[in-house]
């Protein structure tokens, strides 16, 4: 009997949706962008009623991994339906920094592709039955931060986008009046990969395009400051910063309270 109960529990755990904790559930979601098959990760409050705001989560340069999934789960714990998108394709994940650079570089070097790939994820999220499609935001980390800013530049119907230590360069700058999303940039004040010139250029771009933008610089924080796997040596230019992680998450929550 005891063995039978265990088997039932096991079967339940490997089924879809998976119950992650008492409050949230998760599900792998396959979707497409043209002929490319993509595999995202949905997390939502288990006992929700009606439709909830949806939050797109865009991964770092390594591709959709456990870190990104954890962020989606944290958003579900806040009551949102979170969808961690897959920018690279089903099963396409970087094994190391070299591969990550090549994968991310492909999209960074082709912003129209980056935008349309992100839009495919947005449509997949909007199509989820638990989601209120009129209340959508997008957040992203590093490469994903750049991606959600491109999503905003595309004129996508999202209430807001939040970039965590994302690159701020704009090969195709935002057109005046086109951006519908409110924009919140959470930036490491000492991020060597996003230097002051790039920050100033970004602010100028937002200004000219008439965007509702905000930028928070966290002193002492360098690149990838929200990811505990980034080490703890800021002198390397990439490091976790618990303080900036906590503050930036708080800023995102305030932003969501405002836009939803």
Is residue 213 close enough to count as binding a second copy by CB under 8 A?
yes
Nearer to a second copy, 60 or 205 (CB): 205
Site string for a second copy, 217-256 (x = CB under 8 A): xxxx----------------------x---x--xx--x--
- The residue behind tokens 């305030």 is 254
Determine which residue in the list 37, 133, 214, 237 makes contact with a second copy, applying CB under 8 A.
214
Residues 6 or more apart whose Cβ sits within 8 Å of residue 248: 164, 186, 216, 218, 225, 226
Residue 21, interface with a second copy (CB under 8 A)? no
Residue 203 contacts a second copy per CB under 8 A:
yes
Q: Which is nearer to a second copy, 93 or 247 (CB)?
A: 247
190 binds a second copy (CB under 8 A): yes
Q: Which positions ≥6 away from 46 have C-beta within 8 Å? A: 19, 22, 23, 24, 25
Region 112-171 residues binding a second copy, contact defined as CB under 8 A: none
**221 Cβ contact partners less than 8 Å away, ≥ 6 residues apart:** 165, 188, 189, 190, 191, 234, 241, 243, 244
C-beta of 204: minimal distance to a second copy in Å?
9
Residues 6+ apart with CB under 8 A from 102: 94
């Amino acid at each position: 009997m005891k063995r039978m109960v265990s088997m039932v529990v096991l079967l339940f755990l490997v089924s879809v949706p998976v119950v992650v904790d008492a409050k949230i559930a998760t599900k792998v979601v396959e979707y497409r962008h043209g002929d490319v098959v993509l595999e995202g990760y949905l997390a939502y409050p288990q006992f929700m009623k009606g439709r909830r705001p949806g939050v797109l989560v865009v991964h770092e340069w390594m591709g959709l991994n456990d870190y990104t999934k954890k962020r989606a789960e944290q958003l579900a714990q806040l009551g949102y339906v979170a969808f961690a998108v897959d920018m690279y394709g089903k099963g396409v994940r970087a094994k190391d920094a070299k591969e990550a650079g090549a994968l991310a570089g492909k999209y960074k070097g082709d912003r129209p592709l980056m935008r349309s790939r992100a839009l495919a994820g947005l449509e997949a999220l909007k199509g989820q039955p638990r989601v209120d499609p009129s209340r959508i935001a997008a957040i992203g980390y590093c490469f994903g931060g750049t991606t959600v800013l491109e999503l905003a530049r595309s004129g996508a119907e999202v209430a807001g986008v939040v970039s965590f230590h994302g690159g701020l360069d704009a090969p195709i700058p935002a057109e005046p009046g086109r951006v519908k999303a409110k924009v919140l940039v959470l930036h490491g004040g000492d991020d060597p990969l996003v230097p002051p010139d790039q920050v100033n250029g970004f602010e100028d771009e937002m200004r000219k395009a008439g965007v509702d933008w905000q930028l928070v610089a966290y002193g002492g924080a360098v690149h990838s400051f929200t990811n505990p796997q980034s080490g703890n040596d800021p002198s390397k230019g990439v490091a976790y910063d618990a303080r900036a992680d906590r503050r930036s998450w708080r800023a995102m929550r305030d932003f969501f309270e405002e836009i939803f």
